[in-house]
Chain A
Amino acid sequence: MIALVQSSVPLLAPDLGRQKLVAIALAVGMLLIVLELVRRRKLREEYSVLWVITAVALLVVALNRAVLVWLTDLIGAAVLNSTLFFGGLLFLMLLCLQFSIRLSRLTYRVRNLTRRIALLEEERNKQQDDSQ
């Protein structure tokens, strides 16, 4: 059954030129979107660092296949696609880690502020009661 399905689906020959163009377009598009969000002040500069680094790395890899081959050899992968998936996973992990760190700090700060507001309100109420 599987062989029947496999035989009915034509295998496409990889088009390296088109792959390169798509990769470059993706990298440039990602860079432009991030810069546009920073321009509109919807994305703070501190959160744009990882996105810009990834977009630039993708552009370098897209423009120069030898870099991808070298990276594949460096991480011990068998095929170039594995390196790309590995890079993508690494990027997502770093992004999640960055957000986890920020969230932890924000959680602490929100709770601290909540406590301070509560104490300030109590002091204000006490002053109002004393003045009456």
Chain B
Amino acid sequence: MGHLPGGRQSARRLRSFGAIDGSRSIARSVTERWPAEIGRTLVIMPAKDESATLPELLERLASVHPPSDTLVVDDGSNDATPVIARHAGCRVVSHAFNIGYGAALLTGYHYALRNDYSYIVQMDADGQHPPEAISNLLQPVFEDDADLVVGSRWLSPDTEPQGSLRRLAARGLAWMATLWTGQRITDPTSGFQAISPTALAHLCSDGFPEDYPDVDVLIGLHRSGIRLAEVPVTMAARANGSSMHAGLRVLYYFYRLAVCLLLLPVRRTSPYRSQRPRR
């Protein structure tokens, strides 16, 4: 049966979703591999209905990072996503309902601040981002060469090919980010990022866009003095599910991006909420 908390009933539930092989224990302690002097690192994984990809992904992640320092932010899943994550030994925060990818990331950031994590790696739960690349992502941050490191699929020759429309849009956004920041940025929409304490403080301070956080966040951080860097990462194709930019939402995405970039130099802090987490 394996070593699953909750006993046979729990394992039966998981098998009914086809999500887990109950004969293996997923949670393994790897703290002996993690250099203690670097500081605590939290892996944040926003997830919604990812029970198909999550078990394998968490197993790969456990080989490079402790499950106890992995936070799965369940954004209103209707399947066994939070159960799978909890059984894998990860921390799980579940939103009452779906409030968006950016909101889930912000929940993760607040969790990191509340629990005294120094560094953050954020990655998607759909299997696109390879956990094995986390150490490459973190290295510039640990060596204090950058405050935020983006894993760029376009810098890697082995990345799964993308559609022509997507490539064109990606090039346009990359050109925009490069123009605004003055440094070459190839993948500003990548959700695979390593974040230093300095960058985390900026992200949590105000105005983090909770619907589509990407290009404008990077540009805003750069304007605040955050040092950006990119490393090549080989990304896989999405295993299942749909992109958050699919359908008519892409129209709103570009509208919102245009308004945010237009107002970026003069944007004020929000009068409605302080995003500083209460300790």
- Chain A interface residues (CB < 8 Å from chain B): 35, 38-42, 45-46, 48-49, 52, 109, 112-113, 116
Contact = CB atoms under 8 A, between A and B. Distances in A.
The 7 residue pairs across chains A and B that have the minimum distance between CB atoms = A41-B270, A45-B256, A39-B263, A40-B268, A45-B259, A116-B96, A113-B96
Interface string B253-266: 00110011011001
Given A35-B263, A46-B256, A49-B255, A41 B268 contact: yes
B248 to A, nearest CB: 12
Given A45-B259, A46-B256, A39 B96 contact: no
B97 A38 contact: no
Contacts, number: 39
Contacts of A116: 96
Contacts of A46: 211, 252, 256
23 contacts: A39-B263, A39-B268, A41-B207, A41-B267, A41-B268, A41-B269, A41-B270, A41-B271, A41-B272, A42-B272, A45-B255, A45-B259, A45-B260, A46-B211, A46-B252, A46-B256, A48-B259, A49-B252, A49-B255, A52-B259, A109-B96, A112-B96, A113-B96
Interface residues of B, number: 18
A116 B207 CA distance: 28
Contacts of A40: 268, 271
Contacts of A35: 259, 262-263
Contacts of B263: 35, 38-39
A123 B152 CA distance: 45
A46 B256 CA distance: 8
Contacts of A109: 96-97
Interface string B49-64: 0000000000000000
Contacts of B270: 41
